[in-house]
């Protein structure tokens, strides 16, 4: 009877998503034009790049690494370049393959982004520059666009 109860509980649970660990994988900050760039009066130009990768681990666990790179230029000089690789280990069980991929491609980066954003902000401030607050990113939209591009490439 105890066995029946256990198997029934597992079936009733359905899909499961667990955050196992959040961690900082890599951090980089460069200010190649310092200290001269602090004297420049030009308008800073910011560029942000996002990248992510997913690696399958044992026991339905996945490592997701979100890389956020911010480059700031003043005129033709690079004021700073800040890069953060924010990672997480996520347990995913009971999902259909498409749902699992969407969770890894959209939901996990959404969870990781605030941590990466805070690290970027801290790096920029500690580098002697004005505070930088990156705007939220719609990872659902980015994932949907990635799926559309893959479908278009497959058709071509």
In a domain, 100, yes or no: yes
In a domain, 7, yes or no: no
Q: How far is CA 9 from CA 60, 61, 69, 93, 95, in A?
A: 19, 21, 44, 14, 16
Q: What is the pLDDT of residue 154?
A: 79
In a domain, 70, yes or no: yes
In a domain, 134, yes or no: yes
The CATH code of the domain that includes 135 is 3.10.420.10
> Chunked in runs of 10, what are the mean pLDDT values of the chain (156 residues)?
48 84 98 91 93 95 98 94 98 94 96 98 96 94 92 80
Tell me the residue range of the domain where 23 lies. Answer: 15-155
Evaluate whether 3 touches 80 at the Cβ level (below 8 Å). Answer: no
Among 40, 116, 129, CA closest to 76: 40
In a domain, 5, yes or no: no
Q: What is the pLDDT of residue 67?
A: 98
Evaluate whether 85 touches 27 at the Cβ level (below 8 Å). Answer: yes
In a domain, 10, yes or no: no
In a domain, 4, yes or no: no
For 76, phi and psi rounded to 5 degrees?
-100, 5
**Total structural domains in the chain?**
1
Q: What is the pLDDT of residue 113?
A: 98
Residues 6+ apart with CB under 8 A from 107: 17, 139
Q: Helices (DSSP H) in 18-107: which residue ranges?
A: 97-102
In a domain, 2, yes or no: no
What's the pTM?
A: 0.85
């Amino acid at each position: 009877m105890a066995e029946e109860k256990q198997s029934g509980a597992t079936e009733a649970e359905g899909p499961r998503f667990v955050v196992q660990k959040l961690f900082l994988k890599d951090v980089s900050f460069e200010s190649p034009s310092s200290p001269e760039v602090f004297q420049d009066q030009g308008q800073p130009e910011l560029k942000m790049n996002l990248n992510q990768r997913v690696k399958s681990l044992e026991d339905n666990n996945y490592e997701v690494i979100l890389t956020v790179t911010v480059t700031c230029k003043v005129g033709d000089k690079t004021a700073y370049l800040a890069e953060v690789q924010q990672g997480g280990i996520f347990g995913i069980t009971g999902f259909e393959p498409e749902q699992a991929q969407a969770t890894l491609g959209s939901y996990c980066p959404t969870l990781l982004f605030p941590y990466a954003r805070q690290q970027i902000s801290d790096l920029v401030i500690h580098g002697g520059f004005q505070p930088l607050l990156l705007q939220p990113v719609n990872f659902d939209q980015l994932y949907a666009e990635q799926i559309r591009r893959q479908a278009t490439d497959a058709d071509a």
